[in-house]
Amino acid sequence: MPAEFPAFVSLVTSPKGPREDALRVGWSNPTELLNVEKSAAAEFVPFLKLADGGGVAFWKDGEDQRIAHYDSEGGHEVLALDFVDFLARLGKPTKEFRELIELDVDLDTSTLAPHTTPKRVPAALNRKLTAWIESHSLSATPVKSADGEKLRKRLVDMAKQMLVDGTNKVYTTRSVFWSLDFRVVKRGEQWTATYLNYGKWYDLPAKYELIELMPALLPLMKSRKPRYEIDIMKNGGVYVDKGNELTLEP
């Protein structure tokens, strides 16, 4: 941890400060929100918790220790070049900075970062962070092939037909957004399929032929498992196990 960190914690949690909980200091596991392998947590260490589940973290960039923000949707960006730069921004926050870290009081960081002017974060550094996250990502690389596209269209057509038939009660064909969830499980040598409807799983009628598509789906999966969850969306995307096993996009 940076030498200034204990004093920073005291500043934002002290009863003598502007408010005892000016910022929520604490560790949280970032790997699920960023969808990265667990080993990445050694190089990406949160120290602030945010209301949406995201946070602010130390990111080990070679010999440098950047300060990065991440949110509940997997969004991310470099906030500051190092911790002293972060403290300088904290003392002279922009409106955008306040919103990102959920700061609604004024903090005097002049003794923690004396004579320090916040530096501009190069766009290349944000690209580097994105590349680092992608290098640790659990997500499968989107399949771009004629067979994959043909399969994607068949799955989306299946989901649309369920809406036409009224099989799924949550959405209709007129819904601005829809996302249908399916679960396929192998029992013995046979696959079974269910679909989610208002929080409960129901057997998927055979007429939708999802089981018939499994021989074509399996070779595209990143790994072989006895159970998969398939999400089919109105925008035409098909994601197996949140995209970690298979991603098919238009």
Tens-digit pLDDT profile for the chain (250 aa)? 899 999 999 988 876 655 556 788 988 889 888 889 899 999 999 999 998 889 999 999 999 999 999 988 788 999 999 999 999 999 999 999 999 999 888 999 999 999 899 999 999 999 999 999 989 988 888 899 999 999 999 999 999 999 999 999 999 999 999 999 999 999 999 999 999 999 999 999 999 999 999 999 999 998 999 999 999 999 999 999 989 999 999 9
- Beta partners for residue 182, in sequence order: 195, 230
- Taking the C-alpha atoms of residue 171 and residue 127, their distance in angstroms, rounded to an integer, is 37
Residues in the chain: 250
Which CATH fold would you assign to the domain 146-248?
A: 3.30.500
- Beta partners for residue 230, in sequence order: 182, 240
- Taking the C-alpha atoms of residue 24 and residue 140, their distance in angstroms, rounded to an integer, is 34
Distance from chain centroid for Cα 7: 31
pLDDT at residue 52, rounded to an integer: 83
Task: Return the exposure string of 106-122: e unless at least 16 CB atoms fall within 10 Å of the residue's CB, then b.
Answer: ebebeebbeebebeebe
174, 145 Cβ separation under 8 angstroms: no
Backbone φ and ψ for 209, nearest 5 degrees, come out as 60, 30
Q: Half-sphere exposure (CA, 13 Å, Cβ side) for 76?
A: 25
Contacts of 196 (CB under 8 A, 6+ apart): 180, 181, 182, 183
- Taking the C-alpha atoms of residue 19 and residue 148, their distance in angstroms, rounded to an integer, is 55
pLDDT at residue 21, rounded to an integer: 60
pLDDT at residue 140, rounded to an integer: 83
Three-state SS at 144: coil
In order of 36, 74, 144, 162, 186, the CA distances from 220 in angstroms are 21, 25, 11, 24, 17
- Taking the C-alpha atoms of residue 217 and residue 243, their distance in angstroms, rounded to an integer, is 13
pLDDT at residue 53, rounded to an integer: 87
Burial class (CB in 10 A: 0-12, 13-18, 19+), 179: middle
pTM for the predicted model, two decimal places: 0.66
- Taking the C-alpha atoms of residue 233 and residue 139, their distance in angstroms, rounded to an integer, is 17
pLDDT at residue 78, rounded to an integer: 97
Burial class (CB in 10 A: 0-12, 13-18, 19+), 196: middle
Domain segments of the chain as ranges:
5-135, 146-248
pLDDT at residue 28, rounded to an integer: 84
